[in-house]
């Protein structure tokens, strides 16, 4: 759950960490939440979208157990993970899920962006790769597992791979911050839903918690602002390595891509992260 609340944001090179996240998260999200992704997992034989999601996201870890995936994904109820795993590995191998993942991403990006062979995408891919290779791996299992995969050759897919590493590195750091601040999985969702006025029933269903489990933690104290500051601080390394000029250029190049994807991707209209790049990245004079 690499979410961002209403904290005072940690910044690097004059760009705050939320603004960086808002630019690579939409590009990464096509991995799971597009018709092309669903078609790819349906073709494998997955029973429902969630089996596909868990298979696609967990595949870099190998044939991971539901216990391991529950631990590293953090905010899903164990029963929800167990409905998909290990059954997904009987449907297809992790290698087959990875191949399907790349097919879905390729199709989605070509539909959402049109021309994926631009010089701007190639430049963004180069910058994002440099940042991703600078992302720390210690204590970041999902980032490390994705980093170990081969880099796609085509720039639009290399950019996606870099965004995925950066996204999972931030998410791994977010989990560490939640654990350090004593905020449990269901509690984190309840606090976040309250802070952002999100529908509790939707949030529970999106992560598999019962109403009783939700009510048991919804009144527990938790400092999400402190968690987010710690998350931001732990995510600064790649951007410090990229430097002021590189980070600023990455932001410039990724802004229209994130806006185009977010405006055209229906699956981003409602999401448990309260992510609304079209609103939050509004740029005067930009249009689709």
Reported as a single tens digit per residue, the pLDDT across 143-192 is 999 999 999 999 999 999 999 999 999 999 999 999 999 999 999 999 99
Tokens of 69: 């995936």
The stretch 121-143 carries a mean pLDDT of 97
From 274, 288, 237, select the one nearest 20 (Cα to Cα). Answer: 237
Distance of alpha carbon 50 from alpha carbon 80, whole angstroms: 9
Q: How confident is the model at residue 264 (pLDDT cuts 50, 70, 90)?
A: confident
Tokens of 3: 């979410």
Residue 284 above 60 pLDDT? no
Report CA 78 to chain centroid distance, whole Å: 20
Is the pTM value of this prediction over 0.85? yes
Tokens of 28: 């990464």
Q: What is the pLDDT of residue 288?
A: 33
Distances 78 to 56, 59, 87, 211, 225 between C-alpha atoms, Å: 18, 18, 14, 15, 26
Q: What is the pLDDT of residue 275?
A: 63
Q: What percent of the chain has pLDDT over 90?
A: 81
Reported as a single tens digit per residue, the pLDDT across 86-97 is 999 999 999 999
Tokens of 12: 């690097």
The 8-class DSSP code of residue 11 comes to E
Distance of alpha carbon 39 from alpha carbon 198, whole angstroms: 29
Lowest mean pLDDT among 75-79, 129-133, 143-147, 221-225: 221-225
**Which residue ranges make up each domain of the chain?**
12-181+223-274
Distance of alpha carbon 170 from alpha carbon 154, whole angstroms: 24
Distance of alpha carbon 166 from alpha carbon 180, whole angstroms: 21
């Amino acid at each position: 759950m690499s979410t961002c609340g209403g904290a005072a944001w940690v910044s690097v090179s004059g760009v705050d960490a939320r603004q960086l996240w808002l630019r690579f998260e939409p590009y990464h999200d096509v991995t799971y939440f597009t018709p092309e992704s669903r078609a790819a997992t349906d073709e494998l034989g997955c029973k429902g979208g969630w089996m596909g999601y868990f298979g696609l996201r967990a595949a870099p870890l190998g044939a991971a157990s539901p216990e391991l995936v529950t631990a590293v994904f953090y905010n899903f109820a164990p029963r929800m993970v167990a409905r998909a795993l290990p059954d997904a590995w009987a449907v297809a191998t992790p290698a087959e899920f990875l191949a399907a993942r790349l097919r879905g991403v390729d199709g989605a990006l070509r539909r959402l962006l049109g021309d994926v062979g631009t010089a701007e995408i190639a430049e963004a891919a180069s910058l994002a790769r440099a940042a991703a290779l600078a992302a720390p791996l210690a204590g970041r299992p999902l980032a490390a597992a994705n980093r170990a995969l081969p880099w796609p050759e085509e720039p639009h897919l290399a950019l996606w791979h870099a965004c995925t590493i950066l996204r999972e590195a931030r998410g791994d750091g977010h989990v560490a911050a939640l654990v350090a601040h004593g905020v449990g999985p269901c509690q984190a969702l309840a606090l976040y839903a309250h802070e952002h006025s999100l529908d509790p029933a939707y949030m529970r269903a999106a992560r598999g918690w019962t109403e009783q489990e939700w009510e048991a933690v919804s009144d527990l104290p938790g400092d999400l602002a402190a968690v987010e500051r710690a998350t931001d601080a732990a995510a600064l390394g790649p951007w410090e390595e990229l430097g002021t000029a590189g980070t600023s250029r990455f932001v410039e190049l990724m802004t229209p891509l994130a806006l185009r994807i977010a405006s055209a991707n229906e699956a981003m209209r409602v999401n448990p992260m309260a992510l609304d790049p079209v609103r939050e990245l509004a740029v005067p004079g930009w249009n689709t």
